[in-house]
Amino acid sequence: MEQSLTPVAGASSVGALLDWARVRLASRRGSSGLDAEVLLGFALDRPRSSLIGFPERGVSAAETARYRRLIERREAGVPVAYLTGRREFYSLPLTVSSATLVPRPETELLVDKVLERLPTDGRSVVLDAGSGCGAVALAIKHRRPHCRMVAVECSAPALRVAVSNGVRLGLQVEWIRSHWFDALANACCDIIAANPPYVATGDEALVTGDLRHEPRLALDGGVDGLMSLRTIIAGTPRVLASGGTLLLEHGCDQTLPVRNLMDRAGLQGLETYLDLAGHDRVTVGRLP
């Protein structure tokens, strides 16, 4: 049985390759079957529906070799998004690279809460702080085209990916290279949304899990995970207009310290929202 699941060096079939890949990825938590299908679709440039519907379809030796290399890298923990260079976020197809964090489904909650506070025809200025590949900024601009969307990012390689995504999607965002608010004027925005690094430096996931393949700059939040959150909250009263709103994504165990920091910075009406897994994920406050 084991031998039958091992593709030969030459040509194979869709079904045989998927069977082999599912076995290779079985020890990984989560969607090993989905990963196998997505990567084979990428390797063959075919939709997943075609793979499922026609498992007997032949695959060339070159395509088989390419797929095997992808599965071996996935088995080693490289995220599927880095292997394909693609990730969907808020129904937008995005390009990602190893210079950018892979957008997570839970971050869509941050976008939801921004959109709830933005009129469909308003001219509000919205800031995405720490934009990465541009996922949050582009999702907001796509749904609220009349807003003025500004995004800051300190990483030049990540910013290039974000700019490329914006051009490809035809969405106008003002991209600025800046360490948080350093390059911004006072009282320049009505809404700030941020998904900053919030993993503690000593968290073993940074060196043992899939996170080790993602940019440390986008994940490491310092000794307690709150370093970037402190910087953003402390700087908010300078760049947020009176009556404006700050929305922060954070770790599920960071709600109390984040709320305390926001309270001390003068933010009012604090609310914390749960993600789909039932974990605290986004806290919101308003500047008087």
Looking at the structure of the chain, the number of domains it has is 2
Which position has the higher pLDDT, 279 or 28? 279
Instruction: Mark whether 131 and 249 lie in a shared domain.
Output: yes
CATH number at residue 50: 1.10.8
> Average pLDDT, whole number, for the chain?
93
Averaged pLDDT, 12-37: 87
pLDDT digits (tens, 9 = 90+) for 201-250: 999 989 887 889 999 999 999 999 999 999 999 999 999 999 999 999 99
Strands (E), 122-173: 125-129, 148-153
Query: Which pLDDT does position 208 carry in this prediction?
Result: 80
Query: Which pLDDT does position 37 carry in this prediction?
Result: 93
Instruction: Mark whether 201 and 60 lie in a shared domain.
Output: no
What backbone phi and psi angles, to 5 degrees, belong to 79? Answer: -60, 145
CATH number at residue 172: 3.40.50.150
Instruction: Mark whether 161 and 63 lie in a shared domain.
Output: no
* Residue 30 pLDDT grade (very low, low, confident, very high; cuts 50, 70, 90): low
* 31 found inside a domain: yes
Instruction: Mark whether 138 and 267 lie in a shared domain.
Output: yes
**Among residues 27, 54, 76, which one ends one of the domains?**
76
Q: Which residue(s) pair with 58 in the sheet?
A: 13
Instruction: Mark whether 21 and 149 lie in a shared domain.
Output: no
Instruction: Mark whether 199 and 95 lie in a shared domain.
Output: yes
* 214 found inside a domain: yes
* 209 found inside a domain: yes
Non-local CB neighbours of 173 within 8 Å, separated by 6+ positions: 128, 134, 137, 138, 141, 149, 150, 151, 162, 166
Instruction: Mark whether 278 and 248 lie in a shared domain.
Output: yes
**Among residues 76, 101, 133, which one ends one of the domains?**
76
Which domain range does residue 47 map to?
3-76
Which position has the higher pLDDT, 145 or 49? 145
Instruction: Mark whether 211 and 171 lie in a shared domain.
Output: yes
* 105 found inside a domain: yes
* 141 found inside a domain: yes
Query: Is residue 9's pLDDT more than 70?
Result: no
* Residue 11 pLDDT grade (very low, low, confident, very high; cuts 50, 70, 90): low
**Among residues 44, 76, 108, which one ends one of the domains?**
76
Q: How far is Cα 220 from Cα 133, in angstroms, rounded to an integer?
A: 17
What tokens appear for 145 in the block? Answer: 């085209």
Instruction: Mark whether 168 and 239 lie in a shared domain.
Output: yes
Q: What is the pTM of this model?
A: 0.91
Instruction: Mark whether 220 and 140 lie in a shared domain.
Output: yes
Averaged pLDDT, 80-88: 96
* 164 found inside a domain: yes
108, containing H or E segment: helix 108-116
Query: Is residue 136's pLDDT more than 80?
Result: yes
* 82 found inside a domain: no
Query: Is residue 266's pLDDT more than 90?
Result: yes
Query: Is residue 56's pLDDT more than 90?
Result: no
Query: Is residue 10's pLDDT more than 80?
Result: no
What tokens appear for 283 in the block? Answer: 């806290």
Instruction: Mark whether 189 and 155 lie in a shared domain.
Output: yes
The percentage of residues in the chain with a pLDDT greater than 90, rounded to a whole number, is 82
For residue 4, which of 14, 15, 16, 13 has the smallest C-alpha distance? 16
What tokens appear for 278 in the block? Answer: 């039932």
Query: Is residue 268's pLDDT more than 70?
Result: yes
* 81 found inside a domain: no
Query: Which pLDDT does position 27 carry in this prediction?
Result: 78
Pairing relationship of beta strands 280-286 and 268-274 according to DSSP bridges: antiparallel
15-19, 99-103, 139-143, 225-229: least confidently modelled range:
15-19
Instruction: Mark whether 141 and 272 lie in a shared domain.
Output: yes
Q: 227 exposed, middle or buried (CB, 10 Å; 0-12, 13-18, 19+)?
A: middle
